[in-house]
Structure 1
Amino acid sequence: MQTAKAVLKFIKDDEVQYIDFRFTDPRGKWHHITYDASMVDQATFANGIMFDGSSIAGWKTVNESDMTLIPDPATAQVVPFTSAPTLMIICDILEPKTGEPYNRDPRGIAKRAEAYLNSTGIADRNYVGPEPEFFVFDSAEFTFGPYHTSFKLTSSELPIGDGTHREGGHHGHRIQSKAGYLPVPPLDSGQDMRGMMLAVTKAMGVIVEKHHHEVAPAQHELSIQYDTLLRSADSIQTLKYCVLNAAHQLGKTATFMPKPVYGESGSGMHVHQSLWKDGKPLFAGNEHASLSREALWYIGGIIKHARALNAFTNPTTNSYKRLVPGHEAPLLLAYSGGNRSASCRIPFATSPEARRVEVRFPDSAANPYLAFAAVLMAGLDGILNKIDPGVPMNQDLYELPQGEQQEIPTVCGSLRAALVSLDKDRAFLRAGGVFDDDFIDSYIKLKMQEVTLLERTPQSSEFKMYYSV
């Protein structure tokens, strides 16, 4: 369904009862408004739907709150989780007074990034292949207050029993710490669950590839096929929705929180990227790992701007509990062919068409529209300015002597540091009007609220360390 006419015909022919219009806020959360099908016609697609933008964090003030949703008919998909036949359509945001795209709309920023790529003449297509990881628990309980702050996670996969009564008893097959990569059932208790998640994601129009268990107990990954920047971001939003709702239907709870468990691997979202021009892969060549000079410059741009990128690719205070030594999280800003300890990896490929760069520091909490657009802008800045990424690091970076490690730049250690870096290093994002100062300033202000809350909240670990000082 590529046109409004086709969507309206589908609604009538398939007796769709409700139309669910969705949009993404700056933090990456989906919001929706559901209309009875009888209220949706050609004018809905042409003129849009009004809503209150002042109720969305980081957007409008109450005195200028009116905003317009414009449905994208190409995104229409049947929702598999509702009791009544419902069609979902992803929307863009317009300013009602001018009819222009809203500068703080994340999907609009992704569209401008694609347009900017074309305007440079460097390439006409940017393919993105994200790999989001997530946890699924049997239950998640948490409280937050001045005198009682706690959380408790339970899962039958955890290495030790939690005292929870389970019908049929405990089966004893438990995944040990950091030992959960690709086991078969019964150790992998999520086989059927992930299959259901993949199936409903596919039913909602996403081209899926595979699923498997990840390193930590109760940690999983679904892989989707690469697509253009915008469509990949749409697909990640759809995948997250399907994962959360499929788990909920099964009586479990899923989270894309990067680091919910101390001492275990966190949930990353490795982002594979490639540029194409006139149907040919721009990243294939005769340089390191069979990359082109343009691909190396692209990597150079990402490494140069990585600490500013962290504000979008690792946008939560919890993100930086994943980016710590001792796990697979790539702290060191280096590149290499096949080396998973480098922040930019060049995966092995058997054909020029498969040549790509894998950026490994992003995590699953990222707003995909902002993260993918920002990484593209950094890479393009690298090509336009011929930024040298330095020499490749083929050895295991985790095993380097401390003196050598300290010579390699690193990603940020906190969200505060990332936001400060973004504030100072933003010119590459402003190219072509993709990001503007108004959006960047509003984003920094929004995310600093999270930083301040964390910094002012006593943590349970602090009681352990300091209560009896």
Structure 2
Amino acid sequence: MTAVDEARERGRELAAALAADGVAGVTIAWADNNGIPRSRTVPVASLPEVAVAGVGVTTLFAVFDTNDAITFAAPGLQTPSGDVRLVPQLDRVTRLAGQPAFAWAPGRQVTADGGPWAFDQRSVLERTVARLAEDGYSALVGYEMEFGVFEPPQDDDEDALVPAHPGPAYSPHALLPIHDFVASVMRDAEANGLRLGQIHAEYGPAQVELSIAATDPLTAADQQLLARQTVLAAAEAHGLRVSFAPLPTLAGAGNGWHIHTSLWRDGENLLAGGPEGPRGTAGAAYIAGLLRDLPALAAVTAPSVGSLARLRPGFFAGAFGFWGVENREAPLRFVPGSALLGEDHANVELKVSDASANPYLALAALLSAGAAGVEENLAPPAPVGEDPGTWKKKERAAAGIAKLPTTQAEQEEALAANPRIAGVLGEELLGAFLAVRRADAAWAQEKETEEVLAAWRWKY
């Protein structure tokens, strides 16, 4: 049996099982260069053929900006002509507990003849994982996802934000007004195959955080998209609105989507270690690689105008380039193992990450930067246990600590000057990514920051 025959047969089996469960359609999702989920939904009966040939989508999704406008400034995508095929990943088909008439699957974009398409973001992470495996590495990735939960608009005022819970921060009391919603998220997540670590009221009014257990990178990226769909469906069912935006409003708390990673070789976590840091030079080199590439990495993991507005000193957002052990102001926070959790629990948390990042590109860039540090046997500077934002400029300069890029132009400069991170995306995809970033920046240039945040509040 050929691969095409196998895909068609698997599609036929899935279609029959889903139809028997009352599923009407399968939503095939991907994330664009703004981190915004896009999709096509097909009748369940068509799944056998869609599993083989996919469904057609325009090439121009690669150059949609955050406002759904199309920029024709990217080489190779300068006309309205062109089509690619969106192929569902059948091993990830999930019936949605919160939308029982629908199933969900991540998709890959391929050329009309089924070949690789340079602008497909999921393929970038697939190649990165394959390269790591060739070098003897694997990785574990876990997400912490913060979001705001709000009441529906009052008196047709779409800009009014009414927190669905008033706090206090981290209190069980805060979740009482939204306990039905939280319960639905937990039940639906389990039914959808998402293993949650915890869910709680976060620091800001209306803010909630959920964590997803660590898994392999591709699964982690897919699950990040699935988690969004799960949360939004639960909110819709309970008459609530959810904002995943990096900063829903200047007066509120920012939403970081922190990425926890660990690099493994021969069954060993290279980051294993206690409060003093990784016990081996390879784990320290992984941190050094991330730190070296952090300005360019942040241009991929926190790329939007909202991301830059969130990047404020003193807000646990990681505004300066340094690392620390359990330092929540550090953009790179080493989380040590312990006698209770085991040394293999150790990982590095990237705080400069949010919903406006394409998860596949973010993980590909992050893992590539860390692995390069290991291969080059880099050594990081000493960890910092304080908040450099409280230091004088000359103190930060003496410690070699600089502020991360704060404008789109600075992020682009950092990305263009870094062949490792730019090379992960590839020339064509990088061109589309930067064209979208420029389009967003140009649109926002003459507007107040609050107006931009309001326009993008519900996009992600």
* Shorter-normalised TM range: 0.7 to 0.9
Paired AA for residue 362 in structure 1: S
SS at the partner of 1:139?
coil
TM-score by length of structure 1 reads 0.83
Please say if 1:451 is aligned against 2:441.
yes
**Matching of residues 98-137 of structure 1 within 5 Å:** 99-121=114-136, 123=137, 125-137=138-150
Distance 1:187 1:369 in 2: 32
CA distance in 2: counterparts of 1:91 and 1:110, whole angstroms: 13
What amino acid does structure 2 have at the position aligned with 1:233?
A
| Partner-residue secondary structure (3-state), 1:386 | coil
The residue identity in structure 1 corresponding to 2:382 is V
Greater RCO structure (CA 8 Å; 6+ sep): 2
The equivalent of 2:160 in structure 1 is: 152
Deviation at 1:142, TM superposition (A): 13
Amino acid at match of 2:105: I
**1:429, distance to aligned residue in structure 2 (A):** 4.3
Matches within 5 A, 1:70-469: 70-82=87-99, 85-97=101-113, 99-121=114-136, 123=137, 125-139=138-152, 151-155=159-163, 157=165, 174-175=166-167, 180-185=168-173, 189-284=177-272, 288-350=276-338, 351-407=342-398, 408-430=401-423, 434-458=424-448
Tell me if 1:37 matches 2:44. Answer: yes
Q: Contact 2:164/2:178 (CA < 8 Å) preserved in 1? A: no
Unaligned 5+ segments in structure 1 are 144-148, 158-173, 462-469
- Using the alignment, how far apart are the partners of 1:392 and 1:54 within structure 2? 44
User: 1: CA distance between counterparts of 2:62 and 2:154?
Assistant: 26
Query: Offset of 1:9 from its aligned partner?
Result: 4.5
- The amino acid of 1:403's aligned partner reads K
Query: What is the letter of the counterpart of residue 436 of structure 1?
Result: G
TM-score, normalisation: structure 2 = 0.85
Match of 1:465? Answer: none
Work out the number of aligned pairs and report it. 427
The C-alpha deviation readout for 1:317-361, integer Å capped at 9, x for no partner, is: 011111112322111221222221222111132213212111122
Over residues 391-421 of structure 1, what are the superposed CA-to-partner deviations in whole Å (9 max), with x where a residue is unaligned? 1112343444443234412221123321221
Greater shift in the superposed pair: 309-318 or 348-357: 348-357
- Preserved CA contact (<8 Å) 1:126 1:276: yes
Number of the residue aligned with 1:49: 55
Whether the aligned pair in 1 keeps the contact of 2:322 and 2:330 (CA below 8 Å) is yes
User: Could you tell which deviates more after superposition, 275-284 or 443-452?
Assistant: 275-284
Q: 1:246 to 1:14 in 2, by over 3 A?
A: closer
CA shift for structure 1 position 374:
0.9
* Structure 2, unpaired ranges of 5+: 1-6, 65-75, 452-460
1 CA distance for matches of 2:418 and 2:24? 48
Question: By how many angstroms is 1:114 displaced?
Answer: 0.5
- The structure that has the greater radius of gyration is 1
How many angstroms does 1:82 deviate by? 3.5
Q: 2:316 and 2:36 mapped to 1: Cα distance?
A: 27
What are the Cα deviations for residues 194-214 of structure 1, in whole angstroms up to 9, with x where unaligned?
Answer: 222222222222111210001
* Worse-superposed segment, 366-375 or 244-253: 244-253
Structure 2 residue matching 1:54: 3-state secondary structure: helix
